[in-house]
Chain A
Amino acid sequence: MDNNVIIDLRNISVKFGEEQVLRNINLYIRDKEFVTLLGPSGCGKTTTLRVIAGFLEPDEGDVVFDGKRVNGVPPHKRPVNTIFQRYALFPHLNVYENVAFGLRLRKLPESHIKAKTAEMLELVNLKGFNRRNVASLSGGQQQRVAIARALAVEPRVLLLDEPLGALDLKLRKDMQVELKSMQQRLGITFIYVTHDQEEALSMSDTIVVMDEGEIQQIGTPQGIYNEPKNAFVADFIGESNILDGTMRRDLFVDFSGKRFKCLDKGFEKNEPVDVVVRPEDVDVVAAGEGMLRGTVTSVTFKGVHYEIIVDIKGFKWMIQSTENQNVGDEIGLDIEPDAIHIMKKSVYSGRFGDYSSFSEEFDELSDPEEEEDI
Chain B
Amino acid sequence: MSRLSKFYTFLVFLFLYAPIVVMIVFSFNASDSTGLLEGFSVKWYRVLMGDRAIMQALYNTLILAVASSVAATVIGTLAAVGLDKWKKNWVRTGVMTVTNIPMMNPEIVTGVSMMLLFVFMGRLVAGSGTLGFGTILIAHVTFNLPYVILSVLPKLRQTDPHLTEAAQDLGCTPLKAFFKAVLPSISTGILTGMLMAFTLSLDDFIISYFTTGPGFQTLPIAIFSMTKKRVKPDMYALSTLIFFSILVLLVLINISQARGENKRARQYKKGEV
A residues at B contact (CB < 8 Å): 53, 55, 74-76, 80-82, 84-86, 88-92, 101-102, 105-106, 134-139, 142, 149-150, 153, 166
Contacts and interface: CB of A to CB of B under 8 A. Distances in A.
Contacts of B266: 135-136
A92 B180 CA distance: 10
A76 B271 contact: no
B162 A135 contact: no
Q: Which 5 A-B pairs have the closest CB atoms?
A: A102-B170, A88-B162, A92-B184, A88-B166, A105-B171
A76 B184 contact: no
Given A55-B168, A91-B185, 19 more contacts: A53-B165, A55-B165, A74-B173, A76-B169, A76-B173, A80-B169, A81-B169, A82-B169, A86-B272, A88-B160, A88-B163, A90-B163, A90-B180, A92-B185, A92-B187, A101-B167, A101-B170, A102-B170, A105-B171
Contacts of A85: 162
Q: How large is the interface on B (under 10, 10 to 19, 20 to 34, 35 or more residues)?
A: 20 to 34
Interface string B156-191: 000010110111111111101100110011010000
Chain B contact residues: helix, strand, loop or mixed: helix
A75 B168 contact: yes
B165 A82 contact: yes
A84 B271 CA distance: 15
25 contacts: A53-B165, A55-B168, A74-B174, A76-B171, A76-B177, A80-B169, A82-B165, A84-B166, A86-B162, A86-B272, A88-B162, A88-B165, A90-B163, A91-B267, A101-B180, A102-B171, A105-B171, A105-B176, A134-B271, A137-B270, A137-B271, A139-B273, A150-B170, A153-B170, A166-B273
Contacts, number: 79
A95 to B, nearest CB: 13
Report which residue of A81, A90, A106 has the largest number of chain B beta carbons within 10 angstroms of its beta carbon: A90
B160 A86 contact: yes
A106 B170 CA distance: 9
B229 interface: no
A149 B163 CA distance: 13
B3 interface: no
Interface string B111-124: 00000000000000
A101 B172 CA distance: 10
A68 to B, nearest CB: 19
B6 interface: no
B263 interface: yes
Contacts of B184: 90, 92
A137 to B, nearest CB: 7
Interface string B230-273: 00000000000000000000000000000000010011001111
A76 B172 contact: yes
A110 B208 CA distance: 53
Nearest to A159: B169
Contacts of A90: 163, 166-167, 180-181, 184-185
